[in-house]
Amino acid sequence: MLGDDAGVRAAYDAHGAELYRFCLRLLGDRGAAEDAVQETFVRAWRAADRYDPARASLRTWLFAIARNVVIDASRVRASRPPVAAQDGDHEPTTQDAVDRVLLACGLETALREISTDQRHAIMEIAYRGRTSADVARELGTSDSTVRSRLFYGLKALRTTMQQMGWTDVG
Protein backbone atom coordinates (compact mmCIF):
# COMPACT_ATOMS: atom_id res chain seq x y z
CA MET A 1 0.00 0.00 0.00
CA LEU A 2 2.70 2.50 1.04
CA GLY A 3 5.38 -0.03 0.11
CA ASP A 4 6.99 2.04 -2.63
CA ASP A 5 7.02 5.59 -3.99
CA ALA A 6 4.05 4.85 -6.30
CA GLY A 7 2.01 3.62 -3.31
CA VAL A 8 2.82 6.78 -1.33
CA ARG A 9 1.87 8.97 -4.30
CA ALA A 10 -1.44 7.12 -4.77
CA ALA A 11 -2.32 7.47 -1.07
CA TYR A 12 -1.34 11.14 -1.09
CA ASP A 13 -3.39 11.83 -4.24
CA ALA A 14 -6.45 10.21 -2.65
CA HIS A 15 -6.21 11.74 0.84
CA GLY A 16 -3.34 14.26 1.05
CA ALA A 17 -5.35 17.44 0.43
CA GLU A 18 -8.06 16.45 2.89
CA LEU A 19 -5.46 15.51 5.53
CA TYR A 20 -3.81 18.88 4.94
CA ARG A 21 -7.07 20.79 5.47
CA PHE A 22 -7.71 18.83 8.66
CA CYS A 23 -4.22 19.61 10.04
CA LEU A 24 -4.37 23.24 8.88
CA ARG A 25 -7.67 23.87 10.62
CA LEU A 26 -6.29 22.55 13.92
CA LEU A 27 -2.76 23.92 13.75
CA GLY A 28 -3.63 27.19 11.98
CA ASP A 29 -0.31 27.37 10.15
CA ARG A 30 0.46 26.12 6.63
CA GLY A 31 4.02 25.03 7.46
CA ALA A 32 2.96 23.16 10.59
CA ALA A 33 0.10 21.52 8.68
CA GLU A 34 2.46 20.35 5.91
CA ASP A 35 4.87 18.95 8.51
CA ALA A 36 1.97 17.14 10.20
CA VAL A 37 0.84 15.56 6.91
CA GLN A 38 4.42 14.46 6.21
CA GLU A 39 4.72 12.96 9.70
CA THR A 40 1.39 11.19 9.16
CA PHE A 41 2.70 9.44 6.05
CA VAL A 42 6.02 8.54 7.70
CA ARG A 43 4.22 7.03 10.72
CA ALA A 44 1.80 5.26 8.38
CA TRP A 45 4.69 3.69 6.49
CA ARG A 46 6.32 2.55 9.74
CA ALA A 47 3.04 0.99 10.92
CA ALA A 48 2.03 -0.39 7.51
CA ASP A 49 2.37 -4.02 8.65
CA ARG A 50 -0.32 -3.37 11.27
CA TYR A 51 -2.80 -1.94 8.75
CA ASP A 52 -5.68 -4.29 7.97
CA PRO A 53 -7.80 -3.08 5.02
CA ALA A 54 -10.54 -5.49 6.13
CA ARG A 55 -10.96 -3.49 9.35
CA ALA A 56 -10.62 0.12 8.19
CA SER A 57 -10.33 2.07 4.96
CA LEU A 58 -6.99 3.68 4.15
CA ARG A 59 -8.65 7.06 4.76
CA THR A 60 -9.85 6.07 8.23
CA TRP A 61 -6.43 4.72 9.11
CA LEU A 62 -4.53 7.79 7.85
CA PHE A 63 -6.88 10.13 9.71
CA ALA A 64 -6.48 8.12 12.92
CA ILE A 65 -2.70 8.64 12.59
CA ALA A 66 -3.09 12.33 11.65
CA ARG A 67 -5.30 12.82 14.71
CA ASN A 68 -2.44 11.65 16.96
CA VAL A 69 0.15 13.66 15.03
CA VAL A 70 -1.90 16.86 15.48
CA ILE A 71 -2.45 16.22 19.20
CA ASP A 72 1.31 15.60 19.63
CA ALA A 73 2.19 18.74 17.62
CA SER A 74 -0.21 20.92 19.58
CA ARG A 75 1.20 19.60 22.89
CA VAL A 76 4.72 20.50 21.77
CA ARG A 77 3.58 23.99 20.74
CA ALA A 78 1.67 24.51 23.98
CA SER A 79 4.72 23.53 26.05
CA ARG A 80 6.96 25.98 24.19
CA PRO A 81 7.14 29.52 25.59
CA PRO A 82 5.83 32.03 23.03
CA VAL A 83 8.80 33.80 21.47
CA ALA A 84 7.01 36.05 19.02
CA ALA A 85 3.73 37.92 19.01
CA GLN A 86 2.22 35.69 16.34
CA ASP A 87 2.86 32.61 18.46
CA GLY A 88 0.04 33.72 20.74
CA ASP A 89 -1.11 31.45 23.50
CA HIS A 90 -1.40 27.88 22.32
CA GLU A 91 -3.67 25.69 24.34
CA PRO A 92 -3.01 22.02 23.71
CA THR A 93 -5.65 20.77 21.26
CA THR A 94 -8.09 18.54 23.08
CA GLN A 95 -9.25 15.25 21.64
CA ASP A 96 -12.80 16.64 21.53
CA ALA A 97 -11.67 19.61 19.45
CA VAL A 98 -9.79 17.27 17.11
CA ASP A 99 -12.83 15.04 16.73
CA ARG A 100 -15.09 18.02 15.97
CA VAL A 101 -12.74 19.16 13.22
CA LEU A 102 -12.44 15.60 11.96
CA LEU A 103 -16.24 15.47 11.63
CA ALA A 104 -16.37 18.90 9.97
CA CYS A 105 -13.71 17.93 7.42
CA GLY A 106 -15.48 14.64 6.73
CA LEU A 107 -18.81 16.38 6.18
CA GLU A 108 -17.30 19.05 3.93
CA THR A 109 -15.57 16.38 1.84
CA ALA A 110 -18.78 14.34 1.64
CA LEU A 111 -20.77 17.45 0.63
CA ARG A 112 -18.32 18.00 -2.23
CA GLU A 113 -18.81 14.43 -3.40
CA ILE A 114 -22.60 14.27 -3.76
CA SER A 115 -24.37 15.60 -6.87
CA THR A 116 -24.55 19.34 -7.46
CA ASP A 117 -28.38 19.38 -7.37
CA GLN A 118 -28.52 17.45 -4.11
CA ARG A 119 -25.80 19.59 -2.53
CA HIS A 120 -27.62 22.77 -3.59
CA ALA A 121 -30.87 21.58 -1.98
CA ILE A 122 -29.09 20.71 1.29
CA MET A 123 -27.08 23.95 1.36
CA GLU A 124 -30.11 26.19 0.76
CA ILE A 125 -32.48 24.46 3.16
CA ALA A 126 -30.16 23.13 5.91
CA TYR A 127 -27.63 25.95 6.03
CA ARG A 128 -29.49 28.99 4.67
CA GLY A 129 -32.81 28.05 6.25
CA ARG A 130 -34.84 28.60 3.08
CA THR A 131 -38.04 26.70 2.34
CA SER A 132 -38.20 24.02 -0.34
CA ALA A 133 -40.90 26.02 -2.14
CA ASP A 134 -38.66 29.10 -2.24
CA VAL A 135 -35.73 27.09 -3.63
CA ALA A 136 -38.03 25.43 -6.20
CA ARG A 137 -39.28 28.83 -7.39
CA GLU A 138 -35.75 30.08 -7.83
CA LEU A 139 -34.76 26.98 -9.83
CA GLY A 140 -37.97 26.97 -11.86
CA THR A 141 -38.76 23.44 -10.75
CA SER A 142 -41.35 21.80 -8.52
CA ASP A 143 -41.34 21.73 -4.74
CA SER A 144 -41.60 17.99 -4.97
CA THR A 145 -38.36 17.81 -7.01
CA VAL A 146 -36.44 19.87 -4.44
CA ARG A 147 -37.76 17.74 -1.56
CA SER A 148 -36.82 14.59 -3.43
CA ARG A 149 -33.27 15.96 -3.90
CA LEU A 150 -33.12 16.56 -0.16
CA PHE A 151 -34.06 12.95 0.59
CA TYR A 152 -31.59 11.43 -1.87
CA GLY A 153 -28.92 14.01 -1.02
CA LEU A 154 -29.05 13.14 2.69
CA LYS A 155 -28.98 9.44 1.80
CA ALA A 156 -25.96 9.96 -0.47
CA LEU A 157 -24.24 12.00 2.25
CA ARG A 158 -24.83 9.23 4.77
CA THR A 159 -23.47 6.57 2.41
CA THR A 160 -20.40 8.71 1.63
CA MET A 161 -19.75 9.32 5.32
CA GLN A 162 -20.04 5.59 6.01
CA GLN A 163 -17.61 4.82 3.18
CA MET A 164 -15.24 7.31 4.78
CA GLY A 165 -15.40 5.31 8.01
CA TRP A 166 -18.12 7.12 10.00
CA THR A 167 -20.28 4.57 11.72
CA ASP A 168 -22.45 6.91 13.80
CA VAL A 169 -24.39 8.53 10.96
CA GLY A 170 -27.65 6.76 11.66
Partner 1 sequence: MSANDHDRWRELIGLAALAPLDPAEDAELRAHLADCSWCRRDAEHLRAMAALLPAADPWSAAVEPDPALRERIVAAVGDTRRRDTRRDRLQRALAVAAAAVFLVGVGAVLNRPAPGPTLEEVALADVPADVAADAALITHTGGTELVLTVDGLQDGQDYVVTFVSDAGERVSAGTFIGVDDRPVVCRMNAAVLRNEASAFEVATPDGRLVMRADI
**Residues 28, 46, 82, 94: which binds partner 1 (CB under 8 A)?**
46
Number of residues in contact with partner 1 under rule CB under 8 A = 51
The reply to whether 169 sits near partner 1 by the rule CB under 8 A is yes
Residues 6+ apart with CB under 8 A from 143: 132, 133, 136
> Coil, helix or strand for 23?
helix
Helices (H) and strands (E) counted in the chain, each on its own, are: 7, 0
**Residues 14, 80, 88, 100: which binds partner 1 (CB under 8 A)?**
100
CB of 81 to partner 1, least distance (A): 28
Written in H, E and C, the secondary structure of 130-170 is CCHHHHHHHHCCCHHHHHHHHHHHHHHHHHHHHHCCCCCCC
Site string for partner 1, 135-154 (x = CB under 8 A): ---------x--xxxxxxxx
The reply to whether 97 sits near partner 1 by the rule CB under 8 A is no
Site string for partner 1, 8-37 (x = CB under 8 A): xx--xx--xx--xx--x-----x--xx--x
Q: How far is CA 115 from CA 2, 40, 131, in A?
A: 31, 31, 20
**Residues 1, 29, 42, 139: which binds partner 1 (CB under 8 A)?**
42
The reply to whether 51 sits near partner 1 by the rule CB under 8 A is no
Given the rule CB under 8 A, which residues bind partner 1?
2, 5, 8-9, 12-13, 16-17, 20-21, 24, 30, 33-34, 37-38, 41-42, 45-46, 100, 103-104, 107-108, 111-112, 122-123, 125-127, 129, 131-132, 144, 147-155, 157-158, 161, 168-170
